[in-house]
Chain A
Amino acid sequence: MTDPDATPIAGLPTLPLDRPRLTIAKRAGRHGIASRLLRDPVAIVSGLVLIAIVGSACAAPWLGLDDPYRTSMLRRLMPVGSPGHLLGTDELGRDMAARLILGGRASLLLGVMPVAIAFFVGTSIGLFAGYVGGRINMAIMRTLDVFYAFPSVLLAVAIAGALGPGMNNSIIALTLVFVPQVVRVAESVTTQVRKLDYIDAARMSGAGALSIIRVHVLGNVLGPVFVYATGLVSVCLILGSGLSFLGLGVKPPEPEWGLMLNTLRSAIYREPWVAALPGVMIFATSIAFNLLADSVRSAMDVRR
C-alpha cells in the first residue's frame, strides 16, 4: 500500500490536521479488534474450525489421502469407520474423507468468491451513488430495488438456471444476488458520512472528489460493509452448495459438498450417515462463519 500522505490533494497544501490522526486511529482500532477477538472464546473456536477446514482443503494433495476420483464397484458405500476408509465410501466406491476434504475447495470458493466480488463491486457502486447523491443516486438505488424484489434463492437459481450449469455461472449468479445488498449498505453509510462537517472542510480546502472518497469516506464505509459482508459468507456458502445440490454448480466427478449430497441421496436407505456427511461439512463451515461474523461485529462495535 502506498502512503496516503504522499499524494497531494488538488494542488493545495494538505491540512495536517486530520489525516495523520486518521491513520493512528485506524491502527489503534485494528489492534483493538484483534485483541478483543482473541479474548472471545466463540471467535477462537469458530476461527480454529475454519482454519482446519480451509487449511485441509488447501493442503489436500499433501495429506496422503486416497485418490478422490478412483472408483471401485467392490468398495461401494462402505460405512463410517471402515478400515482404510475412515469416513466410508460413496456410491461409486470413492473415499469419502478424501472427497470431503478436497470438496471444500469448490464449496469454499462458491461461498467466499461471490461475496468478495460483491464486496468490491458493491462498495464501489455504493460509494459512488452515496457520494454523488441527488438524482443519480435515486436512479441507481431504485434500479437495485428491482433486484430486491427477488427472493435471493430464486434469483440465484433463475440466473444460474438460464446461464446453464457450471462453477463460473454459479459464481456470477451469486455475485448478482449479493451486489445490490452490499450497495445498499455502502450507500447508506456513505450518505451519512458525506453530510459530516469534516467532508465540507476537506472540500473547502480544495480536495477533489476522488481524494475525499479515498482518504475521508472509504475508511468509514469499509468497516460496516465488511461486517455486513462477513455475515453474507455463510448465506452464500449454503446457497452455492445448494446450486450444486440442484446440479447447477460444480459438475461431476468433481467433489463438492452440495453435489455430493445430491449424488448420495439415493444411498440414504443403505448408508444414511455416509450420505449425510457432506451436509455436516456445509453446516460446520456455515455456523463457524456465522459465529465468527457475530464476534467480528461485536468486536468492531466501538460503542460497547
Chain B
Amino acid sequence: MLAYFLKRLLYTIPIALGVTLISFILVYIAPGDPLNAIAPPDATADVIAALKTQYGLDRPLPVRYGLWLMRAVQGDLGASIASGRPVASEVGAAVGNTLVLAGVAALVGVLMGCVLGALAGYDAGGVVDRIATVLSVVGVSVPHYWLGLVLTIVFSVKLGWLPAMGAGPGGSAEWTWDIEHLRHLVLPAATLAVIPMGIVTRTVRALVAETLQQEFVVALRARGLGSVAIFRHVAWNASPTVLAVAGLQVGYLMGGSILVETVFAWPGTGFLLNTAIFQRDIPLLQGIILVLCLFFVALNLVVDLVQPLIDPRMARA
C-alpha cells in the first residue's frame, strides 16, 4: 500500500511538469510575435532588442521554459497584457468563484446521479430504470450552454423568479454565502449539474445492477440481512468507481464551466478566460490554463489515493 502511494505521488511529478510545458508552449503556438503586444508600433530596432533582452526573448526556448517555470513555482505568472496586473492575483480571485459554482454543481449532480442510478439499478428493466436511462442520455447529449439559455428564458425571462446574470446583486464579483448570492447561483449550478448527473447515473446504475446479481448478495440475503444492510454492502462496493468517476467529473466541471460562466456572466475563470482570448492576453490565458490543470492533476491524485483506502485491491493492480 505504501509503495503504491509513493509510486502514485512520484508519477504526479512528470505529469505536472508536462502540464506546465504545454501551458508554456501555448504562448508560442499563438500567431504573431509576442513582442508586438509589448512594444509600441513605432519602436526602433534598438528598443526592440532591449525589450527582447529584458523579457528574455533572446534566449533559447528551453532556458526560457526553465526561467518561466522557476517564477511560476514561486507564484509569479507574469503580468496580464490587457490590465497590467499580476496574472496570479487575477486568476486567484476568479478561481474562488469557479470553485463555488463547480463545487455546488458537482455536489448536486453527483448526489442526484447516485440516487437516480441506485433506484434504476434496483429496478433494472423497470419504469424507473427507463426514466433514469432517458435522463442520463439527455444529460450527456445536451449542449449545456444551450440548457443554460433555456433555463434563463424559463426562470428569468418568463417567470421572473431568478436573476439571469452575475454572481450577486449589482454585478458583484465577490462571493458570499447569503441568500441574494445563492439566488444567483441556482441557474448556473443547475445547468452545470446536469453533466455529472448523466454520467454518474449511468455508472451507478450499471454498478448496482451488477452487484445485486453477485453471489455474495444472495449469501447475505440467505443469512437473513435486511434490505438496508444489503444496500450498505452494495453501496460500499460501488463507491470506489463512483468516487473515480465523480472526481473526474469535478475536474471536467472546472473546465466545462467556461461555457456556462459565459452564458451567466459568472465572474469565474471561464469568464476570465473568455476575456483573455478576446483581448489576445496570452499570459493570462496561460496562467488560467496552468492553474486549472494543476488543480485537475491534484484532484486525480486525491481520487487515486483515496480509492485504495476503500478497496485495497486497487493498490495491488
Whether the Cβ atoms of B277 and A246 lie closer than 8 Å is yes
Interface status of B185 (Cβ within 8 A of chain A): no
Interface status of A186 (Cβ within 8 A of chain B): no
Given contacts A161-B277, A242-B143, A248-B277, contact A149 B149 (CB under 8 A): no
Among residues of B, the one whose C-beta sits closest to the C-beta of A150 is B293
Contact with A153, one of B26, B256, B277 (Cβ below 8 angstroms): B256
Q: List 6 A-B contacts (CB under 8 A).
A: A146-B15, A150-B289, A153-B252, A154-B292, A159-B26, A162-B27
Extra inter-chain contacts (16) besides given A151-B252, A161-B273, A261-B146, CB under 8 Å: A147-B22, A151-B255, A153-B252, A153-B256, A154-B292, A159-B29, A161-B276, A163-B30, A234-B140, A238-B143, A245-B262, A248-B277, A276-B146, A279-B149, A282-B143, A283-B142
Interface status of B31 (Cβ within 8 A of chain A): yes
Neighbouring B residues of A62 by C-beta, 8 Å: none
Neighbouring B residues of A248 by C-beta, 8 Å: 277
Whether the Cβ atoms of A279 and B296 lie closer than 8 Å is no
Among residues of B, the one whose C-beta sits closest to the C-beta of A287 is B141
User: Chain A: interface residue count, which band?
Assistant: 35 or more
Interface residues of A in 258-297 (CB under 8 A from B): 258, 261, 265, 268-269, 272-273, 275-276, 278-280, 282-283, 286-287, 289-291, 294
Interface status of B137 (Cβ within 8 A of chain A): yes
Whether the Cβ atoms of B277 and A290 lie closer than 8 Å is no
Among residues of A, the one whose C-beta sits closest to the C-beta of B297 is A149
CA distance A155 to B251 in the complex (A): 12
Whether the Cβ atoms of A158 and B138 lie closer than 8 Å is no
Interface status of A152 (Cβ within 8 A of chain B): yes
Shortest Cβ distance from A215 into chain B, in angstroms? 33
Grouping DSSP codes into helix (H, G, I), strand (E, B) and loop, the B interface class, with mixed when no group exceeds half, is helix
* Number of residues on chain B facing chain A (CB within 8 A): 52
Neighbouring B residues of A286 by C-beta, 8 Å: 141-143
Whether the Cβ atoms of A246 and B150 lie closer than 8 Å is no
Whether the Cβ atoms of B289 and A158 lie closer than 8 Å is yes
**Cβ-closest 8 pairs across A and B:** A279-B146, A151-B255, A146-B18, A154-B255, A287-B141, A161-B277, A272-B153, A162-B30
Neighbouring B residues of A247 by C-beta, 8 Å: 277-278
Interface status of B80 (Cβ within 8 A of chain A): no
Contact with B251, one of A151, A161, A273, A290 (Cβ below 8 angstroms): A151
Interface status of A39 (Cβ within 8 A of chain B): no
Given contacts A154-B258, A290-B137, contact A283 B143 (CB under 8 A): yes
CA distance A245 to B149 in the complex (A): 12
Interface status of B211 (Cβ within 8 A of chain A): no
What 1/0 flags go to B1-40 for Cβ under 8 Å of A?
A: 0000000000000111011011100110111000000000
Find the residue from B16, B26, B29, B277 having the highest chain A CB count within 10 A: B277
Among residues of A, the one whose C-beta sits closest to the C-beta of B250 is A151
Whether the Cβ atoms of A162 and B274 lie closer than 8 Å is no
Given contacts A158-B26, A163-B30, A247-B278, contact A150 B296 (CB under 8 A): yes
Shortest Cβ distance from B136 into chain A, in angstroms? 10
For the A-B complex, the count of residue pairs with Cβ-Cβ distances under 8 Å equals 143
Among residues of A, the one whose C-beta sits closest to the C-beta of B22 is A146
CA distance A150 to B147 in the complex (A): 24
Shortest Cβ distance from B228 into chain A, in angstroms? 34
Whether the Cβ atoms of B19 and A145 lie closer than 8 Å is no
Whether the Cβ atoms of A287 and B138 lie closer than 8 Å is yes
CA distance A162 to B15 in the complex (A): 22
Neighbouring B residues of A258 by C-beta, 8 Å: 143, 145
Neighbouring B residues of A246 by C-beta, 8 Å: 258-259, 262, 274, 277
Whether the Cβ atoms of B146 and A282 lie closer than 8 Å is yes
Interface residues of B in 274-317 (CB under 8 A from A): 274, 276-278, 280, 282, 285, 289, 292-293, 296-297, 300
Whether the Cβ atoms of B256 and A162 lie closer than 8 Å is no
Interface status of A241 (Cβ within 8 A of chain B): yes
Among residues of A, the one whose C-beta sits closest to the C-beta of B17 is A146
Contact with A162, one of B158, B282, B297 (Cβ below 8 angstroms): B282
CA distance A279 to B144 in the complex (A): 9
Whether the Cβ atoms of A234 and B141 lie closer than 8 Å is yes
What 1/0 flags go to A19-61 for Cβ under 8 Å of B?
A: 0000000000000000000000000000000000000000000
Contact with A268, one of B16, B147, B149, B255 (Cβ below 8 angstroms): B149
Among residues of B, the one whose C-beta sits closest to the C-beta of A145 is B15
Shortest Cβ distance from A75 into chain B, in angstroms? 22
CA distance A163 to B280 in the complex (A): 10
Shortest Cβ distance from A281 into chain B, in angstroms? 10
Shortest Cβ distance from A47 into chain B, in angstroms? 16
Interface residues of B in 116-139 (CB under 8 A from A): 137-138
Whether the Cβ atoms of A151 and B256 lie closer than 8 Å is yes
Whether the Cβ atoms of A283 and B153 lie closer than 8 Å is no
Given contacts A242-B143, A279-B143, contact A287 B149 (CB under 8 A): no
Interface status of A157 (Cβ within 8 A of chain B): yes
Whether the Cβ atoms of B292 and A151 lie closer than 8 Å is yes
CA distance A157 to B26 in the complex (A): 11
